[in-house]
Structure 1
């Protein structure tokens, strides 16, 4: 009996190691844009659930693989230690071989390619090119001789590829076109995806600076970065109001405003904090803002569709 209990505990611990390696708190950055683009497509056509599920799975796999590339290359460059905050920790804390992490990451990419093949067969082959570019962006975010993460372009790249492009692909594979509405409605989600990365960079500002990174948070300084974070949250909600007031979209979109307290908590959570661990709740609140906002915006679109 004791032996069985030990095996169960070890199995649970093993499962948690692999789950943490995907950095699950970031996966909603992949889920929300797919959901939003698909729900918006419902206004124009009947949604094919198989395409939705394929797109969702591919996006989640690419996001998880990107996190693993991050884990691998930060370890290789000596950035991660067993005391680092906000990492999966499979390599530095749990003894997983770096090569194993890369094998899993590329395996995820392989599955995503198969799902992508199904998607392009049922839409257009041009999406294969776009999909490969998205996957390359995920790899070169921390991989390659000049990682995107080391430049001020990190938030822009994340918002573009994990926000706008995913929303538009999700919309296109259902409708066969891109509308002005789909572009406009992708903007606030793209901003929030970028802010997840900005929150991460604010938390890691001191360590990143020591290791030669030039993120927006480093260039602006902590106070400036927090002001920018709050300003971009404000722009997100102002843009949504603009869609209703000037874009002839349903007032139900404003149900997304219920996520404002979480955005306020995220911004205030960085003020006066100096240690990475102290800033973890603020970073978590930033990711939750993206999730809650995206879900509520999708719900608003659904209500508008049915009523």
Structure 2
């Protein structure tokens, strides 16, 4: 997301054809959109309600908002001079592949426009209060890297991204199916919110040196690299502990414990950060963090689904 030292770093190849646009979406981050929708919808099954049309609408809208957020990130980091052709972890459409910055910005707003149209359909099928929440979510996506005080440049990025892309989406996906919210749904959304925040933490660990040079104040910078890696490990541990506690208290099905199968991937993510200093060296760790979110989320959804019929 910002200029990095290029010494001893192999050149990054330019993308071609459809890959230019695919990488602009930053596909490794899209799990932060579809995992919460899936979990919220599976939880709605326990109330005997699941409208496939609303599930698909919510899924597409959430992915569009996440993709638009990634494009705003690409655009504003470029405008602030934080990205160049050697930057890792970015789509690279502007600085490497020659796409006009204005095109990326317009595409982001187009995605939000389509998400808004889908949101209108969801409101027509449920309640217009959903529109208010949707607008707040889209505003958060824009202000994450846009505006005079980007959220991503502060220590609050993990909290904001986890809350909106984890808890809020799960609650919305559940509400549009059941028209109710329960305390247990809020609690079970917390591990997912933590893991969405973990994706950002891994990103900020990778970009720590460049972010510091450019005046950012991310949580990773405040904690330092070693403590940030420990914090990432603590986020993983907390996510698993919450599920275990919920099962022990009888608040969710014992089948939810199959999320423990994703522990090796979480451990791998932490280990891959240790001893690394160059951003390109830490890309496998960031990828493993995103994969942990996917594995944990899908396993939880499967466990909840099985538990519904047992």
Shorter chain as denominator, the TM-score bin is over 0.9
| Deviation for aligned residue 1:247 | 4.1
Q: Partners of 1:41 and 1:250 in 2: how far apart?
A: 14
Where does structure 2 lack aligned partners over 5 or more consecutive residues? 1-14
CA RMSD of aligned residues (A): 0.8
Q: Distance in 2 between matches of 1:52 and 1:147?
A: 31
- One of 59, 65, 84 as aligned partner of 1:62: 65
Q: Tell me how far apart the structure 2 counterparts of residues 247 and 97 of structure 1 sit (CA, whole Å).
A: 54
Question: In the alignment, is residue 161 of structure 1 matched against residue 164 of structure 2?
Answer: yes
1:193 to 189, 192, 196: 196
Partner of 1:226: 229
Q: Distance between the aligned counterparts of 1:303 and 1:46, measured in 2?
A: 16
Q: Distance in 2 between matches of 1:226 and 1:16?
A: 31
- Which residue in 1 is equivalent to 2:112? 109
**Pairs within 5 Å for 1:1-307:** 13-307=16-310
- Per-residue CA deviation, residues 29-49 of structure 1 (Å, 9 max, x unaligned), is 100000000000001023000
Q: Which runs of 5+ in 1 are unaligned?
A: 1-11
For 2:130 and 2:92, the matched residues in 1 are separated by 34
Deviation at 1:181, TM superposition (A): 1.6
CA distance in 1, matches of 2:125, 2:189: 23
How far apart, in 1, do the equivalents of 2:41 and 2:164 lie? 17
SS at match of 1:47: coil
SS in 1 for 2:41: helix
Q: How many residues align?
A: 296
- The answer to whether the 8 Å contact 1:45/1:174 transfers is no
With normalisation by structure 2, the TM-score equals: 0.94
Q: Determine the C-alpha separation between the residues in 2 that align with 1:274 and 1:138.
A: 29
Q: Is the 8 A contact 2:184 2:251 kept in 1?
A: no
User: Residue 87 of structure 2: SS of its match in structure 1?
Assistant: coil
Q: Distance in 1 between matches of 2:156 and 2:249?
A: 30
The 1-side partners of 2:230 and 2:132 are apart by 37
Partner of 1:269, secondary structure, is helix
1:124: Cα distance to partner?
1.1
Q: How far apart are residue 13 of structure 1 and its match?
A: 2.4
Find the aligned partners of 1:165 and 1:106 in 2 and give their Cα distance: 21
Q: Determine the C-alpha separation between the residues in 2 that align with 1:109 and 1:32.
A: 20
- Alpha-carbon deviation of 1:278? 0.5
Alpha-carbon deviation of 1:250? 1.1
